[in-house]
């Protein structure tokens, strides 16, 4: 199976500092998430939006995360709303040509 890219965005109903504190309290859970290769944390403070870009080993590990307790913890937080969750396949050849952060896994 091929890697799956997951993009999650949401609106902040808390300050950027409050969000960062909450994120820091669960960062280890993301770091130890089975099948997660990496996560990039994102924020647009001016628009009060945040989210993440995730790379999972495969669709199964991505779906396990989405159906699991960590995703529920995030999506049920009262200070976060309007979630957008999108899954993508990776265009390996083009990503390799533009030095995408997929290490040496991609061969052209």
The CATH number of residue 77's host domain is 3.30.70.100
pLDDT (tens place) for every residue of the chain, 108 residues total = 589 999 999 999 999 999 999 999 999 999 999 999 999 999 999 999 999 999 999 999 999 999 999 999 999 999 999 999 999 999 988 988 998 877 645 433
Residue 106 lies in a domain: no
* Whole-number pLDDT of residue 87: 97
* Whole-number pLDDT of residue 103: 62
* Whole-number pLDDT of residue 92: 85
**Residue 107 bridge partners (DSSP):** none
Residue 8 lies in a domain: yes
Per the CB < 8 A criterion, the answer to whether 38 and 105 are in contact is: no
Q: What is the pTM of this model?
A: 0.88
Structural domain boundaries, residue 62: 4-97
Cα-based angle 5, 17, 30 (whole degrees, multiple of 5): 35
Work out how many domains the chain is built from and give that number.
1
Residue 108 lies in a domain: no
């Amino acid at each position: 199976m091929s890697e799956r890219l997951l993009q999650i965005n949401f609106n902040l109903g808390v300050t950027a500092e409050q969000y960062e504190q909450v994120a820091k309290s669960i960062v280890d859970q993301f770091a130890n998430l089975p099948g997660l290769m990496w996560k990039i944390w994102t924020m647009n403070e001016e628009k009060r939006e945040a989210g993440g870009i995730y790379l999972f080993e495969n669709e199964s590990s991505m779906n396990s995360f989405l159906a699991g307790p960590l995703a529920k913890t995030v999506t049920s937080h009262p200070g976060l709303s309007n979630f957008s969750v999108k899954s993508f396949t990776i265009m390996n050849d083009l990503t390799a040509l533009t030095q995408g952060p997929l290490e040496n896994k991609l061969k052209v």
